[in-house]
Amino acid sequence: METLSYETIIDAPLQKVWNILWSPETYGEWTKFFSPGSQMKSDWKVGGKTYFLNAENEGMVSTIDSLDEPNQIVFKHLGMVDKNGVEDTQSKEVMEWNGAFEKYFLIDFDGKTKLHAEVQIEKNWEDHMNTGFTKGLEVVKNMAEKN
CA–CA separation, 29 vs 136, rounded Å?
8
Q: Is it the case that residue 30 has pLDDT exceeding 90?
A: yes
pLDDT of residue 99: 85
pTM for the predicted model, two decimal places: 0.92
Residue 94's domain is classified under what CATH number?
Answer: 3.30.530.20
Torsional sign, CA 27, 35, 72, 4: negative
| Mean pLDDT computed over 110-132 | 91
pLDDT bin (cut points 50, 70, 90) of residue 134 is very high
Encode pLDDT of 49-92 as tens digits.
999 999 999 999 999 999 999 999 999 999 999 988 899 988 88
Listed in order, strand segments (DSSP E) in the chain are 2-10, 39-42, 50-53, 59-68, 72-81, 87-88, 101-109, 112-121
pLDDT of residue 125: 84
Q: Is it the case that residue 33 has pLDDT exceeding 80?
A: yes
Nearest to 102 by CA among 40, 58, 56, 28: 40
Domain count, the chain: 1
- Residue 87's domain comprises 2-145
Burial of 11 (0-12, 13-18, 19+ CB in 10 A): exposed
H-run or E-run covering 70: none
pLDDT of residue 93: 87
CA–CA separation, 85 vs 49, rounded Å?
13
Mean residue pLDDT of the chain comes to 93
Q: Is it the case that residue 147 has pLDDT exceeding 70?
A: no
